[in-house]
Amino acid sequence: MKECKLYEKQKGKDKKTRCFACEHKCIISEGKTGICAVRKNVDGKLYLTVYGRVISKNVDPIEKKPLYHFLPGTKAYSIGTFGCNFRCGFCQNYDISQAQESEDYMEGVFGEKITPKQIVKEAIDNKCKTIAYTYNEPTIFIEFVKDVAVLAKKKGLKNILVTNGFMTKKCMDFIAPHLDAMNIDLKAFTDDFYKENCKARLKPVLDNIKRAHKKGIHIEITTLLIPGKNDSKKEIEKIAKFIASVNENIPWHISRFFPMYKMLKEKVTKIEKLEQAEKIGKKYLKHVHLGNV
Ligand code: SF4
Ligand code: SF4
């Protein structure tokens, strides 16, 4: 556990804190955590309970992040903690991202203890060129990301954030100098989708895609196409047009949905739908890739 950087103490005697790592900007009472379940108010200070803890660490091909246009053919040392600021019913990693709902959840003692130095050493020992902060949402453990990223950079490694893009501008400014690449989910192009399916909002994600690009970070975008939810021609066209308005060279990954977590009754995305989306995407963008096929 380590004190967070991205928060402020609230005025008053009740020791509330306001986190500004992500756009939920939770006001957190003493003894409680924010929506993400990992940032906790202890005696009027906000702590990151998962600092120095990982639940998942693997050597992955960089293409699995997915990043197809950044150091292709190399390996990424991938780490994740637990918790998330979103509540996606289709989450593929719900066992860790929504771990607070599980009976095994033990605040602050969940996962393996590890220092930033050990993570960097393991990445180098495994001949990885990059460290990827992934599996669950890295915005919620951004101070840990930063400490690892600073050390990684000193040792010649690059840093990759795989994110839902819901961080605040302050958080983006905090982490951007240490990042080389990002894969940002653009899950749909309506606020309703974000509200209903993720308990979040669309606009901050669009803002962060623009910000990251402006800061010169290599970005690729991913959209999971869910039948009947975000796969209309009109919506696909809007996503492609938006990405092109930022830069037509930004790669777009359109991913196939399989029934998962709270969406077990939904159907698998038909290949024809994916191909249709690819065709629309290619009208506006130079690089469109289909995933999970
Ligand atoms: S990271 Fe987001 S969800 Fe978590 S406490 Fe901070 S504002 Fe709330
Ligand atoms: S943002 Fe990603 S990790 Fe978080 S619940 Fe949604 S799909 Fe899962």
Binning pLDDT at 50, 70 and 90, where does residue 55 land? very high
* Segment 42-51, tens digit of pLDDT: 999 999 999 9
Q: What is the mean pLDDT of residues 53-77?
A: 97
Computed over every residue of the chain, the mean pLDDT equals 95
Res 262 pLDDT > 90: yes
Q: Are 145 and 138 in contact (CB under 8 A)?
A: yes
5, burial (CB in 10 Å: exposed 0-12, middle 13-18, buried 19+): middle
Instruction: For 2, list phi and psi in degrees, rounded to 5.
Output: -145, 150
User: pLDDT at residue 139 above 90?
Assistant: yes
DSSP 9-27: EPSSTT--EEE-SBTT--E
Span 229-256, pLDDT tens digits: 999 999 999 999 999 999 999 999 999 9
Q: What percent of the chain has pLDDT over 90?
A: 92
Identify the band that residue 67 occupies on the pLDDT scale cut at 50, 70 and 90: very high
The 10s digit of each residue's pLDDT in 86-105 is: 999 999 999 899 887 665 55
Quick check: CB of 93 below 6 Å from ligand 2?
yes
- What per-residue confidence (pLDDT) applies to 152? 98
SS3 138: helix
Q: Is 136 in the pocket of ligand 2 (CB under 6 A)?
A: yes
Instruction: Say how far apart CA 254 and CA 290 lie, in whole Å.
Output: 5
Whether the CA torsion 110, 112, 117, 122 is positive or negative: it is negative
Binding site membership of 4 for ligand 1 (Cβ less than 6 Å): no
Q: What was the pLDDT predicted at 37?
A: 92
How do strand 130-133 and strand 75-80 relate by DSSP bridges? parallel
Please list the residues that pair with 27 across neighbouring strands: 18
Structural domains in the chain plus CATH codes: 2-48 (no CATH), 53-291 (3.20.20.70)
Flag whether pLDDT at 179 surpasses 90: yes
pTM to 2 decimal places:
0.96
Tokens of 103: 């009976």
What is the tens place of the pLDDT at every residue in 147-170?
999 999 999 999 999 999 999 999
pLDDT given for residue 106 in this prediction: 53
Confidence label for 110 from pLDDT (cuts 50, 70 and 90): confident
Cβ(86) to ligand 2 under 6 A?
yes
Closest-lying ligand 1 atom to the alpha carbon of residue 46: 5
